[in-house]
Structure formats: C-alpha cells, structure tokens
Amino acid sequence: MVSLNTPTAAPPGAPAGAAPAGRRPALRRDGRYAGLFLAPSLAGLALFTLFPTVMALGISLFDWPVFGERTFLGIDNYTHLLNDPVFRRVVLNTALFVVLYVPLNVVVSLGLAVWLGPKIRGRQAFRVLFFIPVMTPMVANVMVWRLLFQPGGLIDTGMQSWFGVDAPNFLGSSSWAMPAIVAMSIWQGFGYNFLVFSAALDQVPQSQLESAQIDGAGPLQRFRYVTWPMITPSIFFATTMTLITSFQVFAQPFILTQGGPGVSTQTIVMYVYNQGWQFLTMGLASAAGWVLFVIIMGITAIQFVGQKRWVHYDV
C-alpha cells in the first residue's frame, strides 16, 4: 500500500502515461471506500443472485430428482430439451406472447399517454383509473377475466342474447387461448408504461413544440420530429423492461389456462415451475431456466447495442 504522504517522485514534465503520483493513492482510497459501501449489496447479490444462478447451472448438468439418487448427465438435459417437441413449442409460445404483447402494450400505453395530453380535463383521474389494474393482484384480475372468457361466461352469454351465436371457447381452443391471454395481459399491464410515457411527455418543453408550430409543423410532424426523439429514452426503458418481464410471463397462463389446451399457452417459466415443483425434476427445470436466461441476456444485449441508432440522450 502506498501511503498518502509519499513524496512526489516523478519529476515535473514526466511522460503523460505516468499519472501524477499524488493523485493515484487518493483514487485508490476512494475505491476502497466505495468497495466498503458496496460490500453489503455485493454480498447480497452474490448470495441471492449469482450463487443460485451458478448453482442452477450446476444442477442442470444432473438428473436431479427432489427425492432419490442424483446422477451426472453432462449436457443431456439440454439435448433433451432441444429434442423435446413440447419444449420447442413452449419456447415458440413464449416468443409468440412477446411478439404480440410488447408492441401492443407500447402502442396502447403510448397512444393513451399522448391522447391524455396536458389539455384533457380530469387526466389525473384517468391516470389513476388506468393504473388500477397494475395495482390489483394478478390472481384477482385473472379470475375476473376467466368469468368473462369461459363457456357460459359473460362474453358467451352476451353474444348469445344479442346475436344468437356462441362465443368461441376462448380458454379451450388452441387458436384463441393465446390471444385471450395477451388481451388480458395488456389490460393488466399497460398502466405502468402509460405512467412512464406520461411523465416523459410532460418533460417535452412546450416552447420547442410552439416554435415548431410557428415554423409550420403539423401535429404529426411535431410528434415525429420533436416529441418522439425526446421521449426515446423512456421508450427504450419501457420496451426493454416489458420485453424482459414478458419473456418471464407466468401468472396469466398459469391461472387462466394452466398452459393448456394441450401446450398451446405454456410458457418457459411455467415449464420450469412444472418440471421443478410439480414433477420434482430439478435438473431439467434448471436447464430450461438457463435456456430462458440466455435468451433474455441475448435479446437485451442486442437492444442495448441497437439503441445507439435511435435513442437520443442529448436533449
């Protein structure tokens, strides 16, 4: 360790590569204190996040029943997953959910945020109203939607009395079940992004919009060339977070359809839950968890690289 009072050894006009010796120890000391302050959360991160992640990687190399003998398999769990038609379908389902849900969520929440611009009366009340589904427990939301969707439910009886035809069996038909889950999820989840976008829109300086208007820009042009660039950081944040959470979708299909009919609404996290906690095969569950982890990591990395092209932080 270098003491603080070490005399300056470097002569004046030393090469630029050698940092001034008086400055370095101070930096090091800062680093030490920073490390000290970070230690508790680093320890927590290591214990509760990194360790389980690495542990799961270890478990995924074993046939690991909750009871009974464990045997080392190497990558067999992964090859099993890749060759399992059910797991492949499960990955596709998750991708389908993401592809349907993320854009729709952003469009709905951004659309409503723009619509509820500063000039609307009672916008605070609307904001609260739109945020209510986010605050109510998911299980309660799903129960209500199930009563809407199921045969003899609200939509079905409504269609029968008005049009005299049966509604589709939303939760029992392989082609309707996923759209039904996406619809429910958007209703449940758009309020959060709506708040993020509302806050971002409020930050757009009125003066710039006005000068654009004086220059002859219409409402669409003002949105495209003034508002949009300024809210791109928020849109980036919202899409990244929504993408990550929608890859992890679990509660909606779990309660609404149990992943059925067949495996048409089973998602990766549901697969992990079932393998681990219902069928007690931890090895396969951990392997599937790692597959999801790698997918999310990859896509988030791509997003971060891609943001340079369209996100503007310099406003």
Partner 1 sequence: MYRTPARARRWAIATLSALALTAVAACGGNDGSGSGDGSGSADKADLTWSFWVGGTEDQAAWQKVADQATTDNPGITVKLQGTDWNNYWAKIGTLLASGKAPCIIGMQSLRLASYANAMLPLDELMQKYGLKTEEFDKPIMEGLKADGKQIAIPYDSGPMVIFYNKDLFEAAGVAEPKPGWTMDEFKAAAKKLTGAGRTGLVTTPGDLGVAAWVRTQTGAEPLADGKLALTDQKFVEGFEGYADFVRTDKFAPQVPSGSTDFETTQFVSGKSAMQLNGPWSLIDTKGKAKFQVGVAPIPAGPDGSKTYTAGSGFGISRSCKSPDAAFKAIMSMTGEKPLTTLAAAGRAYPARTAAHDAWFAAAKIDGAKETLDYASENSIPLVTSKNWVQVADLLNRFGTQALNGEIPPDQALKTIQDQAGAGS
List interacting residues with partner 1 (CB under 8 A): 28, 31-32, 35, 46, 50-51, 54-55, 57-59, 62, 66-68, 70, 86, 146, 149-152, 160, 169-174, 177, 255-263, 265-266, 274, 277-280
- Helix 123-135 and helix 174-203: axis angle, to 10°? 140
SS (H, E, C) the chain: CCCCCCCCCCCCCCCCCCCCCCHHHHHHHHHHHHHHHHHHHHHHHHHHHHHHHHHHHHHCCEECECCCCCEECCCHHHHHHHHCHHHHHHHHHHHHHHHHHHHHHHHHHHHHHHHCCCCCCCHHHHHHHHHHHHHCCHHHHHHHHHHHHCCCCHHHHHHHHHHCCCCCCCCCCHHHHHHHHHHHHHHHHHHHHHHHHHHHHHHCCHHHHHHHHHCCCCHHHHHHHHHHHHHHHHHHHHHHHHHHHHHCCCHHHHHHCCCCCCCCCCCHHHHHHHHHHHCCEHHHHHHHHHHHHHHHHHHHHHHHHHHHHHCCCCC
The CB-of-260 to partner 1 minimum distance in angstroms stands at 3
**Residue 84 or residue 228: which is nearer to partner 1 going by CB?**
84
CB of residue 176 to partner 1, shortest distance in Å: 10
Considering the complex, state which of residue 46 and residue 199 has its C-beta at the smaller distance from partner 1: 46
Q: How far apart are CA 107 and CA 75, in angstroms?
A: 41
Measured from the CB atom, the residue of 28 and 224 that comes closer to partner 1 is 28
CB of 31 vs partner 1, minimal distance in Å: 5
Which residue, 22 or 260, is less far from partner 1 as judged by CB? 260
Tokens describing residue 186: 């958007």
Nearer to partner 1, 110 or 270 (CB): 270
- Whichever of 22 and 261 has its CB closer to partner 1, that residue is 261
CB of 228 to partner 1, least distance (A): 37
Nearer to partner 1, 125 or 165 (CB): 165
